Structure 1
């Protein structure tokens, strides 16, 4: 059974839902009853629309026994039957079609049928409905959220192919279709040798010849195709199939008939990077839930900023960004954020000073208190007190994972603000809060046999969007380019005995290095930062030589990875 609802039909209208449901249930029930094999399809079409009304046509098509021409004329009269033999075998229509006709006429419409014996029937009706204001008038009528995504739909049923193609095309996807497993492999192989290969393959699991499970195994076994994401379309639950499919890494499992809303939700989550999705038999929660917060990220380091923005987007947040404390003050004055993630050490104005300004503004204007979470590359006991004194509510040590970011957001999005007028200062306000600031994540010093901790790349790879290049290569290249300049500045600071520059630049390099797993570089920078802070420039040259050696080793690994990723994508 398939239902096709074009996107141009509004999601809301004014009418009698109970009577429409009665008409549809009667027509669909008859179609199912008189169809031993094949399919039943419900088609909707928008015939006309103006500011006040819209006219919709609904057609129920089946591949059943059909109706003889001489029986069509009286089909909508009470107790009329199509054929005596079919009545004995299938049962009759009774008063159903007569009532359908009356209800449709009362709703300003017409009803009719087209049928061929042995081939099937189409019963159709039209209704006039009142136009209604959309639930969310801010949303565009045609949401192109799949723009740039290349999708292969594999199904031996032409109706399913048509409906899925229409939906995905209306959402902006570039769609290729195949009616068999063999044809699908051919399409995928051809696409793999183009600049824009297929990103997602939607596989019907119940096809003659090569079924969806066999096709999925063939795709995963081919090195040229194994990176294609897979989505299963199943017309029945089969535990054996599900268990066999688990190792193949399907991003979703949808059970037919697939509602348009379920398909849209599933693909939107997939597009947002939720790569482990389960949606069986209708709309179900797709874990983990989206958080839907309005967040301000304040971070001067471009690598850290891009990774954090990507993680926040994956979690469902709408995020604005600032590169220093001064920008944060300006943005927080013109918009409402919950929360603000504030880097502590930044040029122009640091996070502590910016937080103090925001708290003072809240006190003077009696504004609702904004939750401010510190982002710090340090995890020392003194940082807790410094964050508290500045008026921050919590802090997150860099580098952080998606789960750690989710935990922090869940904690603070669930809290309501308190008026800053309740306290005389930001620090006092924090102390009076129900739960005092506590460090959420503690830095751990770990020994590593290499200069790169590759596990740091895992959350970055999660940021990959279908139809877009892997962000890891871009971030590695950005790090190499920016960090070479910082290393040159450190060299000059050591040679010129400039402790202030040594402290500031070492901190910047220390901040971005752990995000990409350059832990030894971060450790070397921490030593240089401490020397610069204490104005002990003696001995810095030896530590810098060790840093330079480790940094070149990191760059060699990063550049080799970039070349490998580029060659693979080509």
Structure 2
């Protein structure tokens, strides 16, 4: 919502299909260390600070946070924040006042999003959910249409066939078409070449992509997609990487290899997890793309063995990105628990793949071996200075709570190591990692992160050593925080 004074208020909502929250608990869940059920912390982990920090951040940003929930049916969290609008950087998008657009999309959410985008530009939008309905509308000539926006993956009919049928109707012969396909390639444009005034638009797309393409279609212009970061000239951040591709499917190998080589990367292929373990033993790669489901050895087991070998040999940690065709609840958690660094859903999209390579491809050179955290921890890090540089409002909000809870968190980690409860170690170390990062406590952050990584595959004695080192660094942080909290407030 805009208010005319150079600011806008944005409203976000996040749907959680989890256990839900009882009505009598809704008023307190944004308080520090308050949860709807104490067993939740024991079962799922967490410090109980996340919602408190989120509420405070929303307030600082001129908004608020609230929740709607029913036990057993999940929750919807809402928050609103205010942002300034810089008139110097605001791009003027094409406007379509009065333009009659027919949207043919079967997915209800996608259809609604597209319609809202077009309506915001002044278009008059009609929507149908199938090719059959679109053909019936044109055959009946019930309403004139200036341009048709057509989903390329409608059920029951090929988009090329539907486009041809629309062209054969009296009302559709001269109507511009914009066809959205899952992945736009030169071959897609060849398929629609004989359809005059047709633009092929590749997904995923933004509102800007959509409006610019419709404007070009109405102007009879060429099908030219806006420049994206993946199409920009090479930069140091997008330098070629050595990539190990682990996938047993020949077609997937060809597709992913083509996407990588098109961007200048060097690709080595391993046909299963066992072959990948051997490749990693004899070679060095900037990034590993690991399929989840493979014969001989799956991606999770291969990752565990690679991480164990890195640990035993003191090698640097190579980024491993999971690839899976069936994104199921818990998949991402399983990947991270096995030691993977990120997650990529199939079908693979070139821009998303490049983004992850840029994100993780530079991390390998900077990733330190096992002893790095210990070295950094022993160099006399100035925790008081780090806390002074952190956001003071957030520090004031959570300092006392951290002082009260950190000892029990460390005890939970030590007990988890002794009892081989790796899930407990991982969740508690992850929660500490996030809280320590707020204070800028770099040595402690690195140790907590290392402990979180080793919880899936590390040896208990090594994990115990890390826990002791983490405790030493947390003691240093606690002393810095105590001096802060013990300082009398100015009158």
Which one has the largest radius of gyration?
1
Tell me which interval the TM-score lies in, with the shorter structure as reference length.
Answer: 0.3 to 0.5
What is the TM-score when the length of structure 2 is the normalising length?
0.38
What is the TM-score when the length of structure 1 is the normalising length?
0.33
